[in-house]
Amino acid sequence: MTVDPTRKHPRPESPDQEQQHPGWTGPMDPPPDHGEKSYEGSGLLLDRKAVVTGGDSGIGRAAALAFAREGADVLFTYLPEQEEKDAADTVSLIEEAGRTAVAVPCDTRAEEQCRQLVERAVDEFGRIDVLVNNAAYQMSQPDGIEAISTEQFDRVVRTNLYGMFWLCKMSLPHIPAGGSIINTTSVQAYKPSPHLLDYAMTKGAIVTFTQGLAQMVIGDGIRVNAVAPGPVWTPLIPATMPDTVEFGKQAPMGRPAQPAEMAPAYVFLASPRASFITAEILNATGGTPLP
């Protein structure tokens, strides 16, 4: 049966809600859908070894779950002492799919922690077939550039760019031909919201980095692509946005995406079905036209 995509998920009036950063899944209303009851695998990633940053919740959890149901073992990161409950739930979902789950506390702002993460992945799996750079930080500042402190700016840049750079650089010696790197950019890279100025800037940089790195490693048989989501209902939203009631209504579909709706994009780009696709940005914006 075909389903109207504008009605695939309900469009309730999300009640006003707020959390401390980085937020967690439990108190979200409505609860996000990561594909727990809907995603069915077909062996597209059988016996692949995947690393997903920020895999404890949101898009990262949905991608990790989908990878596992497609046959991959998954190592994912979470922020230590802040996201243990969500990380444990992601472990359970991966293991219920019959695959190995490894949850690693890691702050990708720290170069040494990134190095240790790659070493842990190689120790556990022997190689890295798929690297998903998904961990990100944002904080809405509706009062203009004057409200963006150096501390905030530094955290946004180090989380969104430094971590991605280090993990790509450190992982590449362990990614075999046929492997894939997938970065998470955003609709903000093309249509920046003023209140997310620093975040949008980093997402634009991710587009450029993705396209440049893809050309650099194509001779090694490694593909590099990115997914550009539009508004997605994740814990980052009540933890960083001032108005959850209106969130997502600006998308032409009239609603935010659920994390489960992003997961197939990551699966496709990681799979052999995307063998002729590199240096591309897969836009999943709910109808927002992008260049």
Predicted pLDDT at 84: 83
Q: What is the CA radius of gyration of the chain?
A: 18
Cα-based torsion angle of the residue sequence 46, 270, 260, 124 in order, rounded to the nearest 10 degrees: 60
- Indicate left, alpha or beta for 146 from its phi (over 0: left) and psi (-120 to 50: alpha): alpha
SS (H, E, C) 105-123: ECCCCCHHHHHHHHHHHHH
- Is position 78 annotated as part of the catalytic site? no
| pTM, entire model | 0.92
Side chain identity at residue 280, one-letter code = E
DSSP symbol at 34: -
Q: Are 157 and 149 in contact (CB under 8 A)?
A: no
Q: Which fold has domain 38-284?
A: Rossmann fold (3.40.50)
Q: How many CB atoms lie within 10 A of CB 276?
A: 6
Q: What six digits make up the tokens of 2? A: 């075909």
Q: Are 44 and 20 in contact (CB under 8 A)?
A: no
- Nearest partner of 109 among 236, 215, 202, 232, judged by Cα: 202
Side chain identity at residue 152, one-letter code = Q
| Alpha helix (H) residue ranges in 183-224 | 197-217
Q: How many CB atoms lie within 10 A of CB 91?
A: 20
Report residue 111: phi and psi, to 5°: -60, -40
Which strands make up the sheet holding 180-184, listed edge to edge? 101-105, 73-78, 49-52, 130-133, 180-184, 223-229, 281-284
Q: Are 138 and 156 in contact (CB under 8 A)?
A: yes
How many angstroms separate the Cα of 129 from the Cα of each of 117, 159, 182, 271? 15, 23, 11, 10
- Nearest partner of 214 among 175, 263, 256, 255, judged by Cα: 175
Looking up tokens 């809405």 gives: 140
Length, in residues, of the chain: 291
Q: Are 120 and 75 in contact (CB under 8 A)?
A: yes
pLDDT tens track, the chain, 291 positions:
677 787 776 555 666 656 566 655 656 657 888 999 999 999 999 999 999 999 999 999 999 999 999 999 999 999 986 668 889 999 999 999 999 999 999 999 999 999 999 999 999 999 999 999 999 998 989 899 999 999 999 999 999 999 999 999 999 999 999 999 999 999 999 999 999 999 999 999 999 999 999 999 999 999 999 999 998 987 767 766 666 667 767 888 888 889 999 999 999 999 999 999 999 999 999 999 887
- Indicate left, alpha or beta for 240 from its phi (over 0: left) and psi (-120 to 50: alpha): alpha
Predicted pLDDT at 18: 61
Report residue 208: phi and psi, to 5°: -65, -45
Give the active site residue among 39, 78, 190, 199.
199
Looking up tokens 């100025």 gives: 197
Q: Are 64 and 88 in contact (CB under 8 A)?
A: no
Q: What six digits make up the tokens of 242? A: 């001032």
